[in-house]
Amino acid sequence: MPFAISKIIHLTGVDSTNNYAAKLLSTSNPPEGTAIMAQYQTVGRGQRGNHWESEAGQNLLCSIILYPEFIAPSEHFSLSQLVALSICSTLEKIAEIQCRIKWPNDIIASDHKIAGILIENNWSGTKIQSSICGIGINLNQKRFNIPGASSLFLLSDRQFDAEETLNLLRKELWEKYHFIQKNGNESIQQAYLSKLYRINEKCEYTSGANAFQAIIRGIDEVGKLILEMEDGSLNKFSMQEVKMKY
């Protein structure tokens, strides 16, 4: 059974499900796959220090605890890749939509962001001791203050159940997680590239005060974006260094 002895902890309101998971990890050893889900967060956190907007009771807000000790430190981006791929396969199954992954791990459908991932790793020396995989999926929300955000409801005109979505997501994640544990992460890299939003297309990027056009040509082994610049050279960028305009 996937994540057999782990459970889902249901909360009404919390500061952040990631914070709750961190507190749980600091006082106990929850079974791998334990998930925390909440109806609303008061300080939902996103990438790059952003706030994660979500209307109470409308969306899936959860954190899943993993112990990916088998992942080499240099390959820790593969965890982010497999969470992103698991969200894509979950949403493609429940809503019959096509998802793409905007590097590094935004989930996009019909050119709109419908889900985000915030992974927080707890390192023990050079090993990842535990990971908190924070996931926000916009299910039923109808209006967003953030341009470019959307929900499954707005894309498919149907309502979705947060717990059912989480159960399928845990199953998808469990399968992929154990697959890379046994077989290594090569197939995950391929699957990720095949889902990468705007790969091989010319797009606008910003890096600090610079704006430029470039083409995504791949991702390196530590998860850096490989861009072909206007002069034909290849440059690598970390998440802090570049942003796609879309």
- Figure out which of the listed residues 6, 9, 18, 196 binds ligand BTN, where binding follows CB under 6 A: 18
| Residue 136 sits in the site that holds ligand BTN (CB under 6 A) | yes
| Residue 45 sits in the site that holds ligand BTN (CB under 6 A) | yes
Please say which residue, 47 or 207, places its beta carbon nearer to ligand BTN: 47
What is the nearest approach in angstroms of ligand BTN to the Cβ of residue 137?
Answer: 8
Using DSSP bridges, classify how beta strands 8-14 and 35-41 pair: parallel, antiparallel or unpaired.
Answer: parallel
Tell me the window of 131-139, 205-213, 220-228, 232-240 that interacts with ligand BTN (CB under 6 A). Answer: 131-139
| Residue 163 sits in the site that holds ligand BTN (CB under 6 A) | no
Tell me the window of 12-20, 85-93, 139-147, 202-210 that interacts with ligand BTN (CB under 6 A). Answer: 12-20
Amino acid at 144: F
How many other C-beta atoms can be found within 10 angstroms of the C-beta atom of residue 236?
14
What is the nearest approach in angstroms of ligand BTN to the Cβ of residue 231?
Answer: 32
Cα separation, 148 vs 230, in Å, equals 26
Tell me the window of 61-69, 71-79, 153-161, 202-210 that interacts with ligand BTN (CB under 6 A). Answer: 61-69
Coil, strand or helix at 70 = coil
- Give one word for 167, left, alpha or beta, with left for phi > 0 and alpha for psi -120 to 50: alpha
Instruction: Note every long-range contact of 242-245, with CB atoms under 8 Å and residues 24 or more positions apart, other chains counting.
Output: 242/205, 242/206, 242/207, 243/205, 243/206, 243/207, 244/102, 244/103, 244/198, 244/203, 244/204, 244/205, 245/203, 245/204, 245/205, 245/206, 245/211
- Figure out which of the listed residues 84, 117, 152, 154 binds ligand BTN, where binding follows CB under 6 A: 117
| Residue 46 sits in the site that holds ligand BTN (CB under 6 A) | yes
Tell me the window of 3-11, 120-128, 130-138, 204-212 that interacts with ligand BTN (CB under 6 A). Answer: 130-138
- Figure out which of the listed residues 30, 33, 104, 134 binds ligand BTN, where binding follows CB under 6 A: 134
Cα separation, 228 vs 209, in Å, equals 19
CA dihedral 79, 160, 148, 171 (to 10 degrees): 10
- Figure out which of the listed residues 6, 16, 90, 141 binds ligand BTN, where binding follows CB under 6 A: 16
Cα separation, 100 vs 109, in Å, equals 6
Q: Report phi then psi at 80, rounded to 5.
A: -60, -40
| Residue 101 sits in the site that holds ligand BTN (CB under 6 A) | no
* Residues contributing to the site for ligand BTN (CB under 6 A): 16-18, 41, 44-47, 50, 52, 61-63, 106, 116-118, 134-136
